[in-house]
Structure 1
């Protein structure tokens, strides 16, 4: 049973989050990716619309995620 718990908590803990915090973050992230995909689809059909929307969303998501876990990794390495 403990092994099952760690399957759901190890990764969230690696980015300093609880399971529920990580779930909420991942759900928002997924929603933003779907929005970016929709904007890209609109842009594919109508190239004059949403010309930078998808790339702007993806850049914002990258900024929010590329350093996640760095603080906890630094803290663990120092211990």
Structure 2
């Protein structure tokens, strides 16, 4: 069981939360990957789909990382209060 929960715990998520978050990144990435393949064949299609998605997902990832770091810092501060 630890194999499935160790990494999610390091990012402040349960296994189910981590699955949902990873899926919310993975599914759009697969769709954008398909759009990029089509763009390779038809250069006039999906000209910015891949790069726009990468920017959007990167922003989400950084925002979530900052939230997790702030949450960890707050938890650490609370430990000192107890």
User: More displaced, 61-70 or 23-32?
Assistant: 61-70
Alignment: residue pair count: 75
**Deviation per residue, 1:27-56 (Å, 9 max, x gap):** 221101101101111111111111001111
Query: If the length of structure 2 is used for normalisation, what is the TM-score?
Result: 0.74
Alignment of 1:36-55 (within 5 A): 36-55=32-51
Higher relative contact order, chain-length normalized (CA < 8 Å, sep 6+): 1
1:71 is matched with which residue? 70
If the length of structure 1 is used for normalisation, what is the TM-score? 0.76
Q: What secondary structure, in the 3-state scheme, does the structure 1 residue paired with 2:35 have?
A: helix
- The answer for unaligned runs of 5 or more in structure 2 is none
Return the alpha-carbon distance in structure 1 between the equivalents of residues 8 and 71 of structure 2.
Answer: 11
Please say which of residues 66-75 and 19-28 is displaced more in the overlay.
Answer: 66-75
Q: Which ranges of 4 or more aligned residues in structure 1 deviate by more than 2 Å?
A: 69-79
CA contact (8 A) 1:40 1:50 kept: yes
Please report the RMSD computed on the Cα atoms of aligned residues, expressed in angstroms: 1.9
Between Structure 1 and Structure 2, the one with more helix by share is 2
